[in-house]
Amino acid sequence: MIEASSRMTRGRRKGWATAATVTAVAATFVVGTGAGPAVAQPAAGLAEVLFVGNNWDGTADVIESTGNYAKVGRVNIIPDKQERLGEIYLDPVKLAFFLGVRLTAGEGHDQFVDDMYTTPDGSAVVASRPSFADVVSIDLASGKINWRFPVSGFRADHMAVSPDGSRVAVSASTSNTVHVLDIRTGAQVGSFKTGDKPHENVFTDGGRYLWNMSIGEVNTGTDDPSQDSTKGDRRITVVDAQTFQTVRVIDMRDRLDAFGRQDLSDSVRPVAFSPDESKLYFQVSFFNGFVEYDVATDKITRVKELPKNPDTNPDRTTWVNDSRHHGMSISPDGGKLCIAGTMDDYVTIVDTVTLQESPTVPAAKPYWATVNGDGTHCVISESASDSVSAIDFATGQKVATVAVGDHPQRVRIGHVPAGWAGTPDVGGTGSLGAGSLDTGSLDTGSAGS
């Protein structure tokens, strides 16, 4: 194992290693360099679908993964809402953090569904619930909770599933921790520390490594570039996915500076690896565009600025959670990127060779982008219009739109039993209004059942 040393610079920790060491370690992060677990194959009798997490509803809509994206069913992700409410009523600390989530990241709403993945056998969906600070497994036949894992701290965020489908990683954003769970049982198999506010997680090299991107403080009003040092420790932490030991730390500040983009934030938001994992494309706070990073040479190679919507408020403090663009995916052949221009209200397809973008397509606060079942379309969540839309990678045009629940965000490929049409409405669905006290299980323990 090679672990980057660190030092304090401009008030936050930075990972460092010699240039030769960085290059040597980076060279291992390419597909095929290690024997990772096999990619999970769906079991017989399952249908491939898309799960759409309706963050403010506490539901997940399930739609077909191709074609006309017809609705298949709906899952209530918060059947235990009243139980979680009772816990928070009795704990003033949990209540304070719950209300904090509502007033900051939730834009005045409670956050009930952030991310979700199905188990390999298609019997359950596993979801992170920010306001309840936990991860739950929902049985797709009964609608009941199989297991519950309270994360450390007070908020659960983005997840990632291992290529073999056996493990799920979740960011605990207020404790600077990533928990890795057995997807079938909810038992913790490992954890590791990150920079401030861990966000996106990605397994690479067949599951050999797990990358976490910490985004720092995004809910403060200190958004002027001169106040950047107040945003905390923002870095990429790469760990061995079996031992959970850190093998590499990447602080993009120096890479951006070396490229001549001292003006850009180094808060890495959504990312997309090229199919061979030699390149990492990523979005950063406040920027209408994205960055291309070469993994082996540990250098930023290109920066692409995308159009600004003239109607977007130029006041950076009004942009949701420091995002300007939030959401990107890459076509299976690596030739096209799909970019969600969140605060600019559009989506565009970008050629990865020329970096030429297609004409922008209007979209209502697109918050995420993923690839559909056959790889031909990018599916975006339009959080301001409670819908998801499909964008053709080849033409850059919107080809379908489907209505979903309140404030869709994450969209993920999953599997359900053939003929499945939704879960029973166990516990009732829907979020309480911003004026009511909808509380969650904000336990500080690191294990749950």
R_g over Cα of the chain: 20
- 6 strand-pairing partners: 15
Positive/negative CA dihedral, 373, 375, 376, 381: positive
Predicted pLDDT at 85: 86
Predicted pLDDT at 427: 66
Predicted pLDDT at 38: 56
Domain extent listing, the chain: 5-417
The pTM of the full predicted model, rounded to 2 decimals, is 0.88
Positions of the chain with pLDDT under 50: 1-37, 429-449
CA-nearest of 29, 368, 42 to 211 is 29
Distance CA(61)–CA(51), nearest Å, equals: 6
List, for residues 211-254, the tens digit of each pLDDT value. 999 999 999 999 999 999 999 999 999 999 999 999 999 999 99
Burial 138-147 (b: 16+ CB within 10 A, else e): bbbeebbbbb
Predicted pLDDT at 41: 75
CA distances from 285 to 102, 228, 324, 327, 358 (A): 21, 11, 7, 12, 23
Other CB atoms within 10 A of residue 356 CB = 10
Distance CA(137)–CA(184), nearest Å, equals: 8
Q: Provide the CATH topology of domain 5-417.
A: Methylamine Dehydrogenase; Chain H (2.130.10)
- 62 strand-pairing partners: 51, 73
Half-sphere exposure of 47 (CA within 13 A, CB side): 19
**Which pairs from 359-365 meet CB under 8 Å and 24+ separation?**
359/396, 360/307, 361/391, 361/396, 361/397, 361/398, 363/389, 363/398, 365/320
Predicted pLDDT at 446: 31
Question: How many residues in total does the chain contain?
Answer: 449
Distance CA(140)–CA(156), nearest Å, equals: 22
Cα–Cα–Cα angle for 168, 169, 170, nearest 5°?
A: 120
Distance CA(287)–CA(306), nearest Å, equals: 9
**CA 62 distance to own-chain centroid:** 18
Residue type present at position 234: R
Contact 168, 180 (CB under 8 A): yes
Helix then strand then coil, in percent of the chain rounded to 5, is 10, 40, 50
The DSSP-derived string for 179-197 is: EEEETTT--EEEEEE-SSS
